[in-house]
Amino acid sequence: MPTVEIEGLIKRFGKEVAVAGIDLNIEQGEFVTLLGPSGCGKTTTLRCIAGLEHPDAGEIRIEGEPITSVEKGIFLNPEDRNLGMVFQSYAVWPHMTVFDNVAFGLKIRRAGRREIQEKTSKVLDLVGLGQVADRYATKLSGGQRQRVALARAIVYSPQVVLFDEPLSNLDAKLREQMRIELVRLQHEVGITSIYVTHDQAEALVMSDRVVVMNEGLIQQIGDPETIYARPANAFVANFIGVANLMEGTFLSRSGKLGEAQFPAGEGAPPLRLRALGAEAASAGQRVILSMRPEDITLHLTAPPEDAPNRLSGEIIDTVYQGNFLDCQVRVGPHEIGVQMDHFEQLTPGQRVHLTFEPEHALLLTE
């Protein structure tokens, strides 16, 4: 049985539909991320799980027990749900020591003195705060405060921990370090985690599974590799990484590859390109070709006639990014980004050729 089951979850605020019907199962010990743009309903979903919002429809179960069910009229108060929470504004109590901040959750659950002492010390060691247990919370760095918030959420061994953009107030370097620490800790403790972020890099490096959301709906659920390599639609392709998207018309299929045509500009015959995906598309259907900048090869001289997916165009501009070069190339009405790891001398207006493997590009239908 999955640890968390969400079924048909809907939440409206007046006319605004924040969550439009979500179904999601999360397994014991899994780290699942809700990823999507601002306003797509991530926080509202999390707040429904926490018992901080009453949904308009749906049921949420933890280990098979409904904690919210609109139909059955069940709604457990937040403090009666065995959940830990870490939010963006990690309000640590300034007038308390680190130890007391973390022990608080055990005190309100009426744990005994000995148990409080043991569990709090253990968790503080786990998050690397054992040395500063007696310090007042105001005397801590941003990263240390974030660790206090985390220790507080896990000290009473909740069934699930909910995180809402917990690292977004930290500077970039600390944020990257804390991502790694958080995942290490999560694996060590084995606690089931639901993590909200709008940062795709964060979601891809931290998660067992990523749930991509848009406008209150799930667009795709998958492990990071699948989400990155096989986005289910143009929204996911666009949101997850920098992808080149080209709109065209489906032609035909041969084996696992589909062929589609794309406008090449006035007077020019359309571009015919092949790629994976669009398994159910029929001739004439609108499709979107998605190809990643790092999967395109740039040639200074024309590639052989039989090379698949040949394009010709001219350089718009180039930007050095340290260990690679970003080029923008105009191909008819399209602007295509190419990422190169070797540095050619390229000048705007220069004629170049592009090729990409059909297996590295995807045709998407919506």
Ligand X SMILES: Nc1ncnc2c1ncn2[C@@H]1O[C@H](COP(=O)(O)OP(=O)(O)OP(=O)(O)O)[C@@H](O)[C@H]1O
**Residue numbers at the binding site for ligand X (CB under 6 A):** 13, 16, 18, 36, 38-44, 198
Tell me: does residue 214 bind Mg ion (CB under 5 A).
no
Task: Work out what residue 77 binds among ligand X, Mg ion, none; the CB cut-off runs from 5 to 8 Å by kind.
Answer: none
CB closer to Mg ion out of 43 and 146: 43
CB closer to Mg ion out of 32 and 331: 32
Task: Work out what residue 314 binds among Mg ion, ligand X, none; the CB cut-off runs from 5 to 8 Å by kind.
Answer: none
Task: Work out what residue 231 binds among Mg ion, ligand X, none; the CB cut-off runs from 5 to 8 Å by kind.
Answer: none
Integer Cα distance of 181 and 20 in angstroms: 34
Integer Cα distance of 29 and 185 in angstroms: 12
Distance in Å, CB of 42 to Mg ion, minimum: 5
Region class of 265: left (phi > 0), else alpha (psi between -120 and 50), else beta: left
Distance in Å, CB of 193 to Mg ion, minimum: 17
Distance in Å, CB of 37 to ligand X, minimum: 7
CB closer to ligand X out of 155 and 227: 227
Integer Cα distance of 335 and 349 in angstroms: 13
Integer Cα distance of 324 and 334 in angstroms: 22
Pattern 35-54, binding to Mg ion, x per CB under 5 A? Answer: --------x-----------
Q: Which of 279, 264, 82 is nearest to 191 (CA)?
A: 82
CB closer to ligand X out of 28 and 238: 238
CB closer to Mg ion out of 213 and 311: 213
Amino acid identity of 282? Answer: S
Task: Work out what residue 38 binds among ligand X, Mg ion, none; the CB cut-off runs from 5 to 8 Å by kind.
Answer: ligand X
Distance in Å, CB of 327 to Mg ion, minimum: 36
Distance in Å, CB of 21 to ligand X, minimum: 14
Distance in Å, CB of 69 to ligand X, minimum: 21
Helix, strand, coil percent values for the chain (each to nearest 5): 25, 35, 35
CB closer to ligand X out of 199 and 208: 199
Q: Which of 127, 160, 165 is nearest to 143 (CA)?
A: 127
Integer Cα distance of 261 and 180 in angstroms: 43
The alpha carbon dihedral of 206, 39, 244, 281 has a sign of positive
Q: Cα 53 from chain centroid?
A: 23
Distance in Å, CB of 216 to ligand X, minimum: 7
Q: Which of 84, 85, 86, 89 is nearest to 169 (CA)?
A: 89
Integer Cα distance of 197 and 203 in angstroms: 7
Task: Work out what residue 323 binds among Mg ion, ligand X, none; the CB cut-off runs from 5 to 8 Å by kind.
Answer: none
CB closer to Mg ion out of 43 and 318: 43
CB closer to ligand X out of 198 and 334: 198
CB closer to ligand X out of 120 and 207: 207
Q: Binding residues for Mg ion, how many (CB under 5 A)?
A: 1
Strands 192-197 and 83-86, how do they pair?
A: unpaired
Task: Work out what residue 44 binds among ligand X, Mg ion, none; the CB cut-off runs from 5 to 8 Å by kind.
Answer: ligand X
Task: Work out what residue 83 binds among ligand X, Mg ion, none; the CB cut-off runs from 5 to 8 Å by kind.
Answer: none
Sort 284 into a burial class: Cβ within 10 Å, 0-12 / 13-18 / 19+: exposed
Integer Cα distance of 123 and 130 in angstroms: 8
Alpha carbon separation from 59 to 8, 75, 149 (Å, rounded):
7, 10, 28
Distance in Å, CB of 212 to Mg ion, minimum: 15
Which residues contact Mg ion by CB under 5 A? 43
